[in-house]
Amino acid sequence: AQRVTQPEKLLSVFKGAPVELKCNYSYSGSPELFWYVQYSRQRLQLLLRHISRESIKGFTADLNKGETSFHLKKPFAQEEDSAMYYCALRDSSYKLIFGSGTRLLVRP
Amino acid sequence: DAGVIQSPRHEVTEMGQEVTLRCKPISGHNSLFWYRQTMMRGLELLIYFNNNVPIDDSGMPEDRFSAKMPNASFSTLKIQPSEPRDSAVYFCASSPQDYGYTFGSGTRLTVV
């Protein structure tokens, strides 16, 4: 079954600390993975996708097929990074399957 | 491009009333998705359309929910009759075939 798991509901770090938001997936085919961010009471915004191998706002994510993971990382967290982060997998029918989300709280 | 446009932004209605949520996707996007977001259940896909045709409505919770896409630039999600447990934020998203979704700002529905 297709599934995206984000084991942490809340991750709290201090400003300047490294951040890693965990995401594991279950998918029988070749996955296409995304990270979305939702700032307080706003729309979900695409943060990055694994195909692009890009860094957005200092965040990166590497697809590890062996561990079926797509963890989101940032070396130095900023207060403005506080938001909900959703990992998502797109299946062959182009549906996006979302994880339950992790709330990142960056304390000053 | 104004992005995906949803209306209304907020809706408060009484239990039993009909509610209609509206969405205008980005021009040229051939897929449209309706999601529901709650604290308890997170983001749930309700239904999605491809080229205006409903492809998968398995996420629609009950017969009280229905969705239409009469043309490429408009979709509606209707709840009739509404119940308090339908209170949530409803997001519409559109996508071209080979990219991620663009989400609308959502409609915050409160059924009292």
Instruction: Using alpha carbons, list the distances in angstroms from residue A6 to A3, A24, A78, B17, B63.
Output: 10, 7, 21, 36, 31
Distance from C-alpha of A3 to C-alpha of A27, rounded to nearest angstrom: 7
Beta bridge partners of A86: A36
- Six-digit token pair at A93? 């029918």
Read off the pLDDT of each residue in A36-60 and give the average, rounded to a whole number.
86
CB pairs under 8 A between A and B: 44
- Residue A8: count of CB within 10 angstroms of its CB: 16
pLDDT on residue A49: 86
Q: Show the CA angle centred on residue A13, arms to residues A8 and A15, nearest 5°.
A: 150
pLDDT on residue B15: 96
Contact B104 A43 (CB under 8 A): yes
- pLDDT above 70 covers a percentage of chain A that reads 100
Distance from C-alpha of B33 to C-alpha of B35, rounded to nearest angstrom: 6
Choose from B30, B97, B101, B108 for mutation: most chain A CBs within 10 A. B101
Contact A46 B100 (CB under 8 A): yes
Read off the pLDDT of each residue in A75-98 and give the average, rounded to a whole number.
91
Contact B103 A98 (CB under 8 A): no
pLDDT on residue A15: 96
DSSP E strand boundaries for B1-106? 5-7, 10-13, 19-24, 31-38, 42-50, 53-56, 65-71, 74-79, 88-95, 102-103
Contact B45 A97 (CB under 8 A): yes
pLDDT on residue B1: 63
Average pLDDT, chain B: 93
Rg of chain B over all Cα atoms, to the nearest angstrom: 13
Read off the pLDDT of each residue in A34-44 and give the average, rounded to a whole number.
91
pLDDT in tens, B15-40: 999 999 999 999 999 999 999 999 88
Residue B107 pLDDT grade (very low, low, confident, very high; cuts 50, 70, 90): very high
- pLDDT above 90 covers a percentage of chain B that reads 79
Task: List, in order, residues 6 or more apart from B32 with CB less than 8 Å away.
Answer: B23, B25, B48, B49, B69, B75, B92, B93, B94, B95
Of the candidates A24, A53, A47, the residue with the CA atom closest to the CA atom of residue B100: A47
pLDDT on residue B105: 94
Lowest mean pLDDT among A55-64, A71-80, B94-103: B94-103
Read off the pLDDT of each residue in A38-63 and give the average, rounded to a whole number.
86
Contact A95 B48 (CB under 8 A): yes
Residue B9 pLDDT grade (very low, low, confident, very high; cuts 50, 70, 90): very high
- Six-digit token pair at B7? 């209306």
Contact A96 B45 (CB under 8 A): yes
pLDDT on residue B47: 95
pLDDT on residue B61: 86
pLDDT on residue B98: 64
Contact B100 A100 (CB under 8 A): no
From chain A, the residues in CB contact with B55 under 8 A are 93
Read off the pLDDT of each residue in A53-76 and give the average, rounded to a whole number.
90
Nearest-CB residue to B45 (from A49, A95, A99): A95
Read off the pLDDT of each residue in B54-78 and give the average, rounded to a whole number.
93
Beta bridge partners of A32: A90
Nearest-CB residue to B42 (from A49, A96, A100): A100
Q: Measured between CB atoms, does B58 come within 8 Å of chain A?
A: no
